Amino acid sequence: MTITAAADGSALGNPGPNGWAWYIDDENWAAGGSPHGTNNQGELQAVLELLRATAGRDEKLVIECDSKYVIDSITKWMPGWKRKGWRKSDGGPVLNRELMEALDVEIRGRDIEFQWVKGHAGHPLNEAADERANAAAKAYQQKIEPRRGPGFVGDGGAVAAVTDATRPRPSAASVPRSATEPLWAAASDLLDGLDSPAASAPVELRLMLSGDEHARLRDRAAAQGISLEEALRRLI
C-alpha cells in the first residue's frame, strides 16, 4: 500500500503570516502556521509535519509538492550541505537550516518519493492542501485559531501516528474556535509574576500537553520571539 499526500505552504506578504498544510483525504489532513514566516518555510514545514504524522508506517509515502525548492533541497542539495557543515557551495549558510536538519532526521529509513505538480492546476490533493495552508495563513493574519484538521488517523479510524501539530483532539474540539477568542495571551498574562522573588532552589516541573495545546504554546512563543520554555515560564 502507498500513502499519497500533498504538502503545501502559503505566506501573506512573504514574509508575513504563513501557513502550511498536508492533505491525504478529508479524514487525514492537518494545517498550521506562524505569525511571521516565508512561503518556503511553510512549504518545508508542511513536508516535515507530514513525515512526523506518518512516522512508524511501513507504506511508501508519495508526496505531491508544487515547490521545486523543497524537492531539490531534500533530494539533491541536502547531502552536499551536510558535508559542508550546512553551508552552500558559495560558503553561505543554508537558509532554513533548522527545518532542513529536522527533515534530514525524518526522512532517514523512509521509503519516500516526491512528485512535482504544478500549483493551481487542478490537482485535487494539491488544491486541498493549498486551500488549507492559505486559510491557516489568513487565520494568523486575523490572530484567530486556524483549523488544524484531524491529523493522520490511518486505516479504520485508529490513530497511526501523532505529533505536536497533528494529534487528534476530542470531537468537541473539532468545532472551530470562536473568532473572538484570542490566539495569544494578553501581555499582562505573560508578565504577571515576573517580579516575584525567585524560589531558593529550582523546581522541576513536568507537564503533559495535548498536541493542540503544544501547538498553541509554540504559536505564542513565535509571536513573542522567545523559546517554548520561556513562553511556558511566562505563562506560569
Does the annotation mark 43 as catalytic? yes
- How do the residues of the chain divide into helix, strand and coil, expressed in percent and rounded to 5? 40, 20, 40
Catalytic residue selected from 8, 49, 64, 212: 8
Q: What whole-number distance in Å separates Cα of residue 85 and Cα of residue 102?
A: 15
Does the annotation mark 164 as catalytic? no
Does the annotation mark 66 as catalytic? yes
Catalytic residue selected from 56, 120, 122, 204: 120
With beta carbons less than 8 A apart as the criterion, state whether 212 and 169 touch: yes
Does the annotation mark 8 as catalytic? yes
Catalytic residue selected from 130, 145, 212, 219: 130
Does the annotation mark 155 as catalytic? no
Does the annotation mark 189 as catalytic? no
Catalytic residue selected from 64, 66, 145, 219: 66
Q: Give the helix ranges, DSSP H, for 91-236.
A: 97-107, 124-141, 187-191, 211-224, 228-235
Torsion-angle region of 212 (φ positive above 0: left; ψ -120 to 50: alpha; else: beta): alpha
Catalytic residue selected from 9, 19, 37, 211: 9
Catalytic residue selected from 19, 32, 33, 43: 43
User: How far from chain centre, in Å, is Cα 191?
Assistant: 27
Which residues are catalytic, by number?
A: 8-9, 43, 66, 120, 130
